C-alpha cells in the first residue's frame, strides 16, 4: 500500500536539548493507519502532528483495548539515523496485540513507515549527551460500541518525542520500595503484554514508594508475594556472589528488549546470566551478609537504572554504598555506545534508517 505523506506547513520550535524531560514534547509529524475487518490495515499516512477526534463510545475509552511499544532513534555524527532492534519491538507489539485480541501488523512494513517518518522529522533527533528520540507506536480500539467484545476497527499510530533521561536522577542510583500489597501482574493476566492498564494499575504502589521516600517500586509475584518480578516499569538484575541473576520470564514479566540484549551481551563476555526465581529473602540475606554486589533496572527509556537502596517492612538497606557499580556502568556504556553507533555492533542490533 502506498504511504501518503502530508507535510506540515508550520514547524514547531524544538525544545532546548540540555533541559529535555521525558515524553513532554512531540515532533512535527505522526504516522497513522486504520484497520477494518473488510480492508485489514489500510490508508497508511504521515500527517502533521495533531489531536484525534474519536467517538465517545470508542471502545478504547471503556474497556482499555490498546497496546503500545517504546523504542529509540539516535542520530550519529555522520548524520545517520539508527534504531535499536526495531524488529524486536514490533514482534512484541504483535504478541501484546494477540493477548488483547487486536489484529497484528506487518513488522517489516511498519519499520518502513517509521523510517519515512524519522527521515521527515530527522532534525528533531537530539544529539546532546544522554538524549534520544523516543518512539511510541500504539494501537487503539475505535469502534463506537459499549459491548464487551473486541472492536471491529482500530487505529495504529506512531508519535515521536525528543527525550532526556527517563529518571531525573539520570544514571544515578535510585531507592526502591518492596511492595507487598499491590501486584503488577498475575499469571494468566496481561503482565507480559505492553498494555495501558498494567501501567496505570501501578500508580497506587508508586504513591506508596514515594511516601516511603523511595523512587521506584520493587514488584513481587502475585501468588506468594515472595519472588522478585520487576522494578518500576523495568526488568531487574542482581549480582550476588558473582552470580548475575534476573527473574526468569514467569508468565507475568514483560520480555524487555534491553533485558534480552543484556543477557546476550553478558553471554558474549563469558558472564552468563541465571534466569531463575529470586526471592526477596535471598536478596535480603545477601545484603545482610554483604554479598549483594550490584542491582539495576533495565528498560528502553532509562537503559540502565542502578538501585542504591532497598526499603522493606520499614527497614532501609544500602546497596553498593549507593554508588553505580562497575557492571551497570559497563553495560550502560556498551549498550548506549552500540545504540549511538559509537561502538562496534557485533550482533547487528542497529538498524540504519
**Binding residues for ligand COI (CB under 6 A):** 70, 233-234, 299-302
Residue 232 CB, shortest distance to ligand COI, in Å, is 8
Cβ-based nearer residue to ligand COI, 145 or 235: 235
Residue 136 CB, shortest distance to ligand COI, in Å, is 8
Which residues have a Cβ under 8 Å from the Cβ of 209 and sit 6 or more positions away? 176, 177, 179, 215, 216, 217
Q: Tell me, what DSSP letter sits at residue 144?
A: B
**Spatial contact of 3 and 124, defined as CB atoms under 8 Å apart:** no
Cβ-based nearer residue to ligand COI, 145 or 206: 206
Residue 153 CB, shortest distance to ligand COI, in Å, is 25
Cβ-based nearer residue to ligand COI, 180 or 255: 255
Euclidean distance between the first and final Cα of the chain, in Å?
Answer: 19
Tell me which residue has its CB nearest to ligand COI. 299
Outline where DSSP puts E strands in the chain. 4-5, 29-36, 40-48, 66-68, 71-75, 81-84, 132-141, 153-163, 174-179, 216-220, 228-231, 235-240, 243-247, 273-276, 292-299, 303-312, 315-318, 350-352
Residue 37 CB, shortest distance to ligand COI, in Å, is 30
Q: Tell me, what DSSP letter sits at residue 13?
A: P
Cβ-based nearer residue to ligand COI, 96 or 145: 96
Cβ-based nearer residue to ligand COI, 93 or 120: 93
Secondary element (H or E) of residue 118: helix 107-120
- Which DSSP string corresponds to 228-265? EEEETTBEEEEEETTEEEEE---SSS---HHHHHHHHH
Distance CA 266, CA 277 (A): 19
Q: Which of 69, 71, 118 is nearest to 96 (CA)?
A: 69
Cβ-based nearer residue to ligand COI, 46 or 159: 159
Residue 233 CB, shortest distance to ligand COI, in Å, is 4
Cβ-based nearer residue to ligand COI, 41 or 340: 340
Residue 11 CB, shortest distance to ligand COI, in Å, is 26
Residue 117 CB, shortest distance to ligand COI, in Å, is 19
Residue 342 CB, shortest distance to ligand COI, in Å, is 21
Distance CA 228, CA 235 (A): 10
Cβ-based nearer residue to ligand COI, 65 or 195: 195
Q: Kindly report the length of the chain.
A: 353
Amino acid at each position: 500500500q502506498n504511504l501518503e505523506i502530508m507535510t506540515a506547513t508550520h514547524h514547531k520550535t524544538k525544545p532546548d536539548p540540555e533541559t529535555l524531560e521525558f515524553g513532554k514534547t512531540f515532533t512535527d509529524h505522526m504516522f497513522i493507519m486504520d484497520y477494518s475487518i473488510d480492508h485489514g490495515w489500510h490508508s497508511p499516512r504521515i500527517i502533521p502532528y495533531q489531536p484525534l477526534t474519536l467517538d465517545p463510545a470508542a471502545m478504547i475509552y471503556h474497556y482499555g483495548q490498546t497496546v503500545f511499544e517504546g523504542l529509540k532513534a539516535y542520530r550519529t555524527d555522520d548524520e545517520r539515523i539508527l534504531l535499536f532492534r526495531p524488529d524486536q519491538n514490533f514482534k512484541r507489539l504483535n504478541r501484546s496485540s494477540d493477548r488483547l485480541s487486536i489484529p497484528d501488523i506487518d513488522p517489516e512494513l511498519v519499520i518502513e513507515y517509521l523510517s519515512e517518518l524519522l527521515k521527515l522529522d530527522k532534525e528533531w533527533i537530539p544529539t546532546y549527551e544522554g538524549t534520544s528520540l523516543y518512539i511510541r507506536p500504539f494501537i487503539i480500539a475505535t469502534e463506537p460500541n459499549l459491548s464487551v467484545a473486541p472492536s471491529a476497527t482500530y487505529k495504529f499510530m506512531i508519535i515521536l518525542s525528543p527525550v532526556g533521561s527517563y529518571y531525573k536522577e539520570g544514571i544515578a542510583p535510585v531507592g526502591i520500595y518492596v511492595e507487598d500489597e499491590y501486584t503488577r501482574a498475575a499469571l494468566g493476566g496481561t503482565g507480559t503484554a505492553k498494555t495501558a492498564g498494567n501501567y496505570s494499575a501501578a500508580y497506587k504502589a508508586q504513591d506508596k514508594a514515594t511516601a516511603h521516600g523511595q523512587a521506584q517500586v520493587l514488584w513481587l509475584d502475585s501468588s506468594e508475594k515472595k519472588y522478585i518480578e520487576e522494578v518500576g516499569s523495568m526488568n531487574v538484575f542482581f549480582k550476588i556472589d558473582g552470580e548475575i541473576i534476573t527473574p526468569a520470564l514467569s508468565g507475568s514479566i514483560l520480555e524487555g528488549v534491553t533485558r534480552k540484549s543484556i543477557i546476550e551481551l553478558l553471554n558474549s563476555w563469558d558472564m552468563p546470566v541465571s534466569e531463575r526465581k529470586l526471592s526477596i529473602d535471598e536478596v535480603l540475606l545477601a545484603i545482610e551478609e554483604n554479598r549483594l554486589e550490584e542491582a539495576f533496572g533495565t528498560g528502553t527509556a532509562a537503559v540502565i537504572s542502578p538501585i542504591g537502596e532497598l526499603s522493606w517492612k520499614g527497614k532501609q538497606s544500602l546497596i553498593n554504598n549507593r554508588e553505580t557499580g562497575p557492571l551497570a556502568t559497563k553495560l550502560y556504556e556498551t549498550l548506549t555506545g552500540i545504540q549511538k553507533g559509537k561502538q562496534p555492533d557485533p550482533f547487528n542490533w542497529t538498524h540504519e534508517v
